[in-house]
Amino acid sequence: MRELSLALSFLVLGCASTGNAPQDDQGGIGNSLDGAGQGSGDLKMTGDMKTSGDLGPMVDLILPPDLKAPVDLTVSPDLTLPLKEWGIDCTKDIECMSQHCLGVLPGANKICVSTCTKAQDCTGLLNAFCEASSAVSLSGYCIPHHPMHCASCSSNSDCGILAERCIKTGGDTAATCKIDCALGGSEACPADYQCTSVQDINQKRMLCLPKNSLDCLDALGGFCDRVTTPQYCSRTNVAGSCNGQRACLNSGRYTSCSAMAPQYRSCGQQNPAGCTEAIDPNALTTLQNCGFCNNSCPGQNLTTCDAACKNKVCDITCRGEHYDVDKSSSNGCEVTDDNPGSPNHSSGTSIYLGEKYCNDDLSSTDFTGHLPTDARVHANPIVNNFNGSFGAAPDYWDVFGNGESGKWWPPTCYNDYDVYFSTSSGSNSNCYKLTFKTNKLTDTLTINGHTTNAVISGGSGSYGNYSTITFIIEKICSTGPENAKYSVSFHL
């Protein structure tokens, strides 16, 4: 800038030496000398100075060429940033020497990678192998050794963006990441893994698997030199699932999965930390825990039934002659067959009505009973001749016909019969049958559940002297639980 100041000084002095400038009485140039009136040669420009007209014609100030602003500001070629080599972090393809910037390692930054078609193409690159770009591709990329060997996964994308596969193989209990080694061979796998042929649906794949057919979750994982954050992992079986982690070891490998194997738990037990476990199915078959925990079955401690848990559903079985007519397990089998004497459900256990004469008025007899019906199993003890399809058992009644008059007149008998059959509290269906059986004939009558005095009859000789006559009352179709009542009136 010193040269510029001198040039300006000469230019100004050159302007001052021209005529026509007013002078003061000291002979100097007005307002251009200092207070002592001395002209030192340095001109000072003041605010009172005039433009051209006072000082004469203006002179163009021309700067020397070396003081002009440079026109070309382009950075020199030797200042351009160098392209990145393989394995270096990047954000764009143009940053890389290979022109390929990919996020090939889940959980890590994008890096520069190079293309390959075989393992040898990656020779010389530190810890690199050639992985196919897809399962069927014959080319791929040289990438660093993989962090996702045997990592838990739910889809292929969890394992990487190339030919990685989420699959269950060998001794696995769950699907895990398997790294494709079709192009990379053994270089794709850790030393304790091997490149193995695997049937993957309808095609063969070459994948890295732990040696000795280990469950992948129990094997060491992938490499953690570039990705060090813990990996989530889980173990799942029929008993539930448990979550854990794979941690990065100082050796540069991920540990095996820390999750415990799920086990069934009993009612009252809490899930272990990190686990969701199912209740042991065998624990849900008890009277206190039937089908689900704390589901206590009704009917326990009742004398008319036995409570049961059948197929994880609460149920009751009726004891002997007790019937569940109201279909409620809570009060057990509340109706008892009230026929007198021992259970009369067969010819050998029939109720005996005595010996009868053939005279009508002397032989006239009535008897009543019930036909309780339900849909339960009857046990402890069983019911003889119980028909499970109809839910009832028949009743047998016997009478001994002696064929004698019992009076002095008339001295002879006809051995005929009239039988009246009535029902109540039954269904509208003709499901109630009376059978009259002698040593000479069998007669039947079928009615619905609310009939009065339906009759069957037979003439002389319908039974022999001194023979047993049997009445059988039974239900012959299914109507659902009920307690139908019947009555029978007859004379011989």
Taking only the tens place, the pLDDT of each residue in 334-391 is: 999 987 556 799 999 999 999 999 988 899 999 999 999 999 999 999 999 999 999 9
pLDDT tier at 413, thresholds 50, 70, 90: confident
pLDDT score of 213: 76
pLDDT tier at 44, thresholds 50, 70, 90: very low
**In this structure, are residues 203 and 232 in contact, taking their beta carbons and an 8 Å threshold?**
no
What fold characterizes domain 334-491? Jelly Rolls (2.60.120)
Q: What is the CA radius of gyration of the chain?
A: 57
pLDDT tier at 64, thresholds 50, 70, 90: low
**In this structure, are residues 120 and 202 in contact, taking their beta carbons and an 8 Å threshold?**
no
**In this structure, are residues 432 and 423 in contact, taking their beta carbons and an 8 Å threshold?**
yes
pLDDT tier at 68, thresholds 50, 70, 90: low
pLDDT tier at 6, thresholds 50, 70, 90: very low
For residue 79, CA distances in Å to 28, 117, 410 come to 59, 35, 149
For residue 390, CA distances in Å to 177, 179, 269, 373, 481 come to 61, 66, 45, 7, 9
Location of each CATH 2.60.120 domain in the chain: 334-491
pLDDT tier at 70, thresholds 50, 70, 90: low
Q: Is the model's pLDDT at 128 over the cut of 50? A: yes
- pLDDT one-digit tens code per residue, 230-277: 999 999 999 999 999 999 999 999 999 999 999 999 999 999 999 999
Please, is 127 exposed, middle or buried when counting C-beta atoms within 10 Å of its C-beta (0-12, 13-18, 19+)? middle
Residues 6+ apart with CB under 8 A from 40: 34
State the Cα–Cα distance between residues 137 and 117, nearest whole angstrom: 9
Higher pLDDT, 389 or 74: 389
Residue 456 φ then ψ, to 5°: -130, 150
Question: What value does the mean pLDDT take over residues 88-94?
Answer: 97
pLDDT score of 42: 43
pLDDT score of 23: 40
- At 413, list the tokens: 């008998």
Query: 407 in helix, strand or coil?
Result: coil
pLDDT score of 30: 39
State the Cα–Cα distance between residues 354 and 469, nearest whole angstrom: 10
pLDDT score of 58: 44
pLDDT tier at 145, thresholds 50, 70, 90: very high
Strands of 77-185, DSSP E:
101-102, 111-112, 114-116, 128-132, 140-144, 165-167, 176-178
**In this structure, are residues 210 and 201 in contact, taking their beta carbons and an 8 Å threshold?**
no
Q: Is the model's pLDDT at 36 over the cut of 50? A: no
Nearest to 108 by CA among 92, 87, 124: 87
Residues 6+ apart with CB under 8 A from 322: 304, 305, 332, 333, 334, 335, 336
Name beta bridge partners: 115. 141
